[in-house]
Structure 1
Amino acid sequence: MKATLLCSTALLLSISATARAEDAAEPATDIIVTGTRQIGMKAEDSPAPVQVIGAQALQSVGQQDLTQVLAQSLPSLNFQAFGGDTANLTLTAALRGLSPNDTLVLVNGKRRHGTANLAVLGGSPYSGAATTDFSFIPTASISRIEVLQDSAAAQYGSDAIAGVVNVITKNADHGGLITVTGGSNYQNGGETAAAAANFGFGLGDRGFVNVTGEYRFSDYTQHGQYDRRFFTPTGQLLPSLNAVQVAGLRANPRFPNVNNINGNARFSLYNVAFNAGYDLTDDLQLYAFGSYGNRNAKAFQNYRAPDRVSGRTSTGTVVYPLPLGFNPQENIREEDFSLTAGLKGTAGEWNYDLSLTYGRDAVALFTIDSANPVLFSMLQSASATPLTGLQRNFYDGQLTNSEWVGNIDVSRDFEVGFAKPLTLALGGEFRKGTYQIAQGEYASYIFGGAQAYPGFAPSDAGKFGRKSYAGYIDIAADPVDSLHLDVAGRYEHYSDFGSAWSGKFTARYDFSDAFALRGTVSNGFRAPSLAESYYSSVNVGPGSTFGQLPPNSSAAQLLGFAQLRPEKSTNVSVGLVLKPLPGLQVTIDAYQIKLKNRIVPSGDIYGTLGTSTVSQAVVNALISRGVSLADATSYAGINIFTNGVDTRTRGVEATANYTSDFGDMGRVDWSLGLNYNKTDITRVSSLPAAVFNAAFGQTDLLSVNAKDALSTATPRVKSIANALWSLGSFSLNLRGTVYGSTRQRQLGDQVYQTAIGTTFIADLNVGYKLTPLIRFDVGANNLFDKQAPTLPLRADGTRPITGNVFNAPLSYTPWGINGGYYYARATINF
């Protein structure tokens, strides 16, 4: 892998035709506002690596979701291919191989709130994600995106360990666009449709309002074949099935592919957003921006056989109310809201910005097309005739995450005899966060609840909050020509765990116009999200019951787990900025990120296996929270978030860009980006004595599957090469992405190794301007339809190594599980 890195870097440095295909970065002369408090800083002069994703990148990505745009533009960012349980309804992305929670998201420089839908399924690189949901930021509202790939906790506070994504929205007071997109995967389903409109309006001659509306739809995708519980690998029914199961399976309209759990969710999404400003005076502006989004999403769970729900009448007749079996689904109906208002201007020689932001994400959860087997059996036993009107849909409760953020930022330049004025920036921040779990309806949780996803019981419900206060100072100076220094310090106090200090020192020296050296040393922290601290739920599978235990609960402390503490980081980076030829810029930045007390989900901690008790303490903890173990015929246990590991991440990020002018043959914008990233686990916490049981192999906090999720389940190497050819009204964009190899051990009846080799993915977009205002695009992502590798079979060939479905895709496939996607788009600009 190191050889791959060196070869790729050598290629990057030797190519003069490399650059920013699809205009993924705006011109190098553009001013940036991320990672610096100085006014007028250019991206090419930044002392820290900042990549700018411009309007052309948004236009040239087929899937109009901001996560996809970022993943196809940034080599250091990887996106979630597939999520388990409710995580499949809110997919996310991660920067520099760390948790998604370690990247801070800003909109117009203001902190954006996180989702309420916590990803809890262990064994995924994205477990624990509760960060900003990019789906609620409409791409048509975006002017550009600035991505700071460096720790910035001293400048922006918690979460900015891996970097900062700052979304800058449009502020035009006239014109706009209307765009319509449709597409589908080559196979596996997943038809999509999207429409968006953006309009700018003037407010007299001193202000503007820019408004965006968006609608997106995506249908289910379907992967895998037969369910190993009922079929052989060739699709024959198992001889061990009973008559009720055989009759129901044969009559099922999806026979023989009755299990639809492997595939993307179906969703419809509406977004509206606005950005507005009004100059009250020449030195004072009132501004506001915000968004509202509404999503309805559904995802399949494991198929249940016809005899999973049964009852006996008072006269002794056995009743099967669902003779075809059933495919329960998890369903969310989500509302996302954000509003920022503020005043900014100048007073004397000081610049100031006062703002207040409120963000809220509310997720109502439902289990649909399901049933509560125990409740039905009890009701049926009291009736002499078969019951009708079986309840199939259940309200599971609601998750709500909200946050108030107040900011005051002031800055001023001082002439102190340096090569440039010294910039002093000061500020303060107040945050108040609230996380709430509202219980579901009685039938959703009683007696084990609805199949697949029981509702939140009264013992799960609660409202939790905290406050924090912060102050920072940032000094930037150029003592002599070509030397830039920046020092920042920040203090934060949280009501639930105390104080945190962070600092950052950044320097850049330009030896000439063609060569500069830059570097950063910093420390940072990430406060545990309220969702990680207090989320509580139960998942019921065929024969299993697992509870997500809140680490800040008394039950967790009785098991020996401590309340969550902040993650702490130490970041070091050093880089080069090269301009070996006119118009060619190359950047190479090496970095190391050490994380202490990293918050991770535990491996599965069992209370029972079959009829054996592994940990009575776990059984007691489940029962104390009102969890029924009636369905746990195979196993029962818990998962929990904990400050379980220390990690060290080392990597190299390299970029290059160039434009070739071929005269009558048009011009080509080239770009090449490369990221090498390796994470090692340097410490793992011990398993508490109350749940330790060597006789059953329960000795480690993290399973090998969970360890691999941190270290090897995302590619160490990702490289993106782009070429955008423009010729009159015609444009052709070709993008090639190389994903390095990945591997992850899977847990079944034993430990199995899976691996995905180095893979090349090609994307193509062809655009044509029918008129200066009307443009058509057709294209394909994953042009050659590279499919995700599938789960192998056990050595005896009778079943997949894990899960229930034969030929299910490996969920950690870095380019996604759905293969090729084609699309067409029409855009009207005015």
Structure 2
Amino acid sequence: DAIAGVINIVLKERDEGGNAGYRFGGYKKGDGLQRKLSGWKGFALPNDGFLTLAFDAGSQDPASDTRDDNRLFYPGSTRIDTPREQNNRYRNWRWGSGNVSDQYNFTANAEMGLSEGLSAYGFATYAHKNTDAENFFDPPTTLRNNYGSVALARYPDGRLPVTRYGLEDVAVTGGLRFEDQALGKFDLALNYGDNRVDSTDRDAINPSWGSASPSTIYTGRREADQTNLTLDWTRDFANDWLFKPLTVSAGLAWRQEHYDLSEGDAAGWSNGPLFNTIDPITGRRIPGYYSGITQVDAVSLDRRVIGAYFDVEAQLTEKFQAGVAVRSEHYSDFGDTTNGKLSLRYDFTPQIAARASASTGYRAPSLVQSGLSSFSVQVVEQPPGSGNWVEAQQRTLRADSPEAALLGGKTLKPEESTNFSVGLVWRPLPNASVTLDAYRIDIDNRITLSDQLPASVVGPIFAGTPYANIQSAAFYTNIADTRTDGFELAGHYQLDAGRWGRVDFNGGYARNNTRITGLDDVGSIPGNQIIGRNTQGLIEDGTPEDKLTLSANWLYDGWSVTVAQRRYGEWKNRNAANPTLDQTFSPQWVTDLDVSYRFDLGLTLSAGAINLFDSHPDKLEGAQLYGVPKYSITSPEGAQGAFYYTSVSYDF
């Protein structure tokens, strides 16, 4: 489905043997070092069963490719070339991938026969890691002006705020499979998954608490869990009027979703005893500090869904195959929906076939979209030049909150889609294949986060209400209808090189175009103000217009050599206000290489490179973020340059 999405994960099913390996690598410029230890082991269970256990553990150093920050950092400075300015340890603060530590993953997969036709299975995953996200550098001038003398005294050279995110993810699935020639195949499964992220601010300060403010502040938890119970059935029905037996499938599903935002420490969101008093050095009012999840943001949301589907596939003639599927669901918060799919295939010859499909799709807003709320605070002079410094709240509002309602926000609606595709399949040789598919996807009621609406928009609407202190606001809304047209071409060829081994060639080319076909006003605010030029550009031009992939894998004796090539087409970044400042990024080529050799004793050595030739996207134009970032955060690949690695593994 175009908006629901499917990820197919294939788990290892081994009842013996094992492997242990280690990989080490880093970027050409010397940072971003990665270390990874991994392994798996298979065990035999009764009745031809298996248990496969796997793990990996590792870490990653931060990586950055930035320019120096050339602002004047210290109050009173007039020249950047003074020793005090030049020796600031944060002059080259990082902008890139953060530090990843304590990263480890475990996987278990098992299956065992219980009786004739009946088997039990189960699999589970667990993941943990800590990621440090470095934020924008606050130089001493900013600390003095925005946070006061207490902040400047604690961080005399400035502050590089770091938020540590601790991830815990667990998923467990267990089920029974039963197969009977007369009754068909049954699969009963129960699944539970939980994802939890805790965040902590480091190098923090709440100036309203003065010197008593902690420098490490826990800022809250985001947790989502889901439980699924499913029953699937499939059976082939023999008949005399079709070329092959009729395949019928049906199933029932029940799902419960839960999402929690839990507030952080009071030091992260409460005003201390110095709040709004006059700082003796700066002469400005001392602000509070708002970070993470506050009392206002905390929320707990639930959803229950029950559904059923029915699917029929038939080989109508020797050359013509058709399938029809329908699925109905009831959402506790959105009511009923029914969607369907029709698929057709016609084999002109054993080598050439045509296929087509048409379907409708439905995606209820995620509980994260429905429940997200956050706010930050800046200290601003109002009116400018008055010397009156006040706190200005910047809020991301819950879509169904009273504040959002004043702006025209409503409870989010589901996204709905229609999908059409046609394609050709060609097998010119037994060891070669080519596929070509074209598609059109229409999405209605697309959910998008609005731009941060300024005080000139929200101020008059919030005036005289309890929300008059909100100077800037954003919220999720069903703002746009979009249409995506595209096609995908893929080919594969396996060359038997005789005594020189075998070479597998793969290639693919994809091109699509997304455009906004409708933009709704929200309340009294025009749609092109709810999402402006930059956000519209992210939808329509923010990804490469096309992508080419080519690869070759040569297997000879114990050698394996893989070369992969990618080309990303043009993409664009639209300036929020001035079209003359739009930037179009050139196409980019990226090459990967992996070479490995397996010794007779089961030892394999490998070396390789991701982005072998150190390709980079075009550099950013203008002075975004004080001119520090070299590359756009939406670049498809290559902002950190070439990554080289080596690995060793042993099969036993």
Instruction: State TM-score, norm by structure 2.
Output: 0.90
Residue type of the partner of 1:729?
G
Q: Distance in 1 between matches of 2:588 and 2:288?
A: 38
Structure 1 residue 324 corresponds to structure 2 residue 157? yes
Change (3 A) 1:440 1:169: same
Within-5 A mapping of 1:475-624: 475-539=312-376, 545-607=393-455, 615-617=459-461, 623=467
Whether the 8 Å CA contact 1:173–1:210 is kept in 2: the answer is yes
Residue type of the partner of 2:551?
N
Deviation at 1:813, TM superposition (A): 1.1
Deviation at 1:318, TM superposition (A): 11
Structure 1 alignment gaps of length 5 or more: 1-150, 153-158, 231-236, 377-386, 630-635, 693-697, 794-799
Q: Distance in 2 between matches of 1:406 and 1:204?
A: 27
Within-5 A mapping of 1:716-731: 716-731=545-560
SS in structure 1 of the partner of residue 630 of structure 2: coil
Deviation at 1:171, TM superposition (A): 1.4
- Residue by residue, what CA displacement relative to the aligned partner does 1:115-160 show, whole Å, maximum 9, x if unpaired? xxxxxxxxxxxxxxxxxxxxxxxxxxxxxxxxxxxx38xxxxxx53
Q: Distance in 1 between matches of 2:438 and 2:363?
A: 22
Q: Give % identity.
A: 29
Whether the 8 Å CA contact 1:575–1:589 is kept in 2: the answer is yes
Structure 1 residue 469 corresponds to structure 2 residue 306? yes
Change (3 A) 1:463 1:430: same
Change (3 A) 1:206 1:739: same
Deviation at 1:452, TM superposition (A): 9.4
1:407 is matched with 230
Deviation at 1:504, TM superposition (A): 0.1
1:344 is matched with 177
1:202 is matched with 44
Deviation at 1:482, TM superposition (A): 2.1
Structure 1 residue 738 corresponds to structure 2 residue 582? no
1:252 is matched with 88
Structure 1 residue 300 corresponds to structure 2 residue 134? yes
Q: Distance in 2 between matches of 1:703 and 1:349?
A: 57
Change (3 A) 1:174 1:273: same
2:265 is matched with 441
Deviation at 1:581, TM superposition (A): 2.5
Q: Distance in 2 between matches of 1:542 and 1:775?
A: 59
Q: Distance in 1 between matches of 2:11 and 2:151?
A: 62
1:638 is matched with 473
Structure 1 residue 416 corresponds to structure 2 residue 239? yes
Selected match of 1:827 from 624, 649, 652:
649
Residue type of the partner of 1:500?
T
Q: Distance in 1 between matches of 2:150 and 2:487?
A: 69
Change (3 A) 1:621 1:211: farther
1:111 is matched with none
- Residue by residue, what CA displacement relative to the aligned partner does 1:563-606 show, whole Å, maximum 9, x if unpaired? 11111000000000001223110000001100000111112211
Selected match of 1:660 from 477, 495, 507:
495
Deviation at 1:622, TM superposition (A): 8.7
1:70 is matched with none
Selected match of 1:184 from 15, 26, 32:
26
Whether the 8 Å CA contact 1:603–1:703 is kept in 2: the answer is yes
Q: Distance in 2 between matches of 1:739 and 1:318?
A: 45
Deviation at 1:542, TM superposition (A): 8.6
Deviation at 1:228, TM superposition (A): 5.0
Deviation at 1:223, TM superposition (A): 2.4
Change (3 A) 1:274 1:450: farther
Residue type of the partner of 1:302?
F
Q: Distance in 2 between matches of 1:400 and 1:763?
A: 37
Whether the 8 Å CA contact 1:432–1:467 is kept in 2: the answer is yes
- Residue by residue, what CA displacement relative to the aligned partner does 1:594-646 show, whole Å, maximum 9, x if unpaired? 000011111221125xxxx752335788948xxx77xxxxxx41221111111
Whether the 8 Å CA contact 1:736–1:763 is kept in 2: the answer is yes
Deviation at 1:244, TM superposition (A): 13
Deviation at 1:476, TM superposition (A): 0.7
Structure 1 residue 396 corresponds to structure 2 residue 229? no
Instruction: State TM-score, norm by structure 1.
Output: 0.71
Q: Distance in 2 between matches of 1:622 and 1:305?
A: 34
Whether the 8 Å CA contact 1:618–1:637 is kept in 2: the answer is no
Change (3 A) 1:247 1:532: farther
Q: Distance in 2 between matches of 1:451 and 1:199?
A: 54
Change (3 A) 1:614 1:748: same
- Residue by residue, what CA displacement relative to the aligned partner does 1:723-752 show, whole Å, maximum 9, x if unpaired? 111221112111111111111113378862
Whether the 8 Å CA contact 1:788–1:818 is kept in 2: the answer is no
- Structure number with greater CO (CA < 8 Å, separation at least 6) is 1
SS in structure 1 of the partner of residue 537 of structure 2: helix
Change (3 A) 1:238 1:294: closer
Whether the 8 Å CA contact 1:788–1:819 is kept in 2: the answer is no
Residue type of the partner of 1:549?
L
1:286 is matched with 120
Whether the 8 Å CA contact 1:194–1:215 is kept in 2: the answer is yes
Whether the 8 Å CA contact 2:287–2:379 is kept in 1: the answer is no
Structure 1 residue 650 corresponds to structure 2 residue 488? no
1:143 is matched with none
Within-5 A mapping of 1:54-203: 151=1, 159-160=3-4, 163-187=5-29, 189-203=31-45
Deviation at 1:401, TM superposition (A): 0.3
Q: Distance in 2 between matches of 1:809 and 1:476?
A: 49
Structure 1 residue 789 corresponds to structure 2 residue 618? yes
Selected match of 1:428 from 252, 258, 263:
252
Whether the 8 Å CA contact 1:304–1:542 is kept in 2: the answer is no
Whether the 8 Å CA contact 1:738–1:759 is kept in 2: the answer is yes
Change (3 A) 1:343 1:371: same
Q: Distance in 1 between matches of 2:98 and 2:320?
A: 52
Whether the 8 Å CA contact 2:74–2:85 is kept in 1: the answer is no
Q: Distance in 2 between matches of 1:215 and 1:746?
A: 42
Deviation at 1:391, TM superposition (A): 1.7
Structure 2 alignment gaps of length 5 or more: 276-285, 381-391
Q: Distance in 2 between matches of 1:788 and 1:204?
A: 55
Q: Distance in 1 between matches of 2:223 and 2:405?
A: 25
Q: CA RMSD in A?
A: 2.8
Deviation at 1:373, TM superposition (A): 2.6
SS in structure 2 of the partner of residue 446 of structure 1: coil
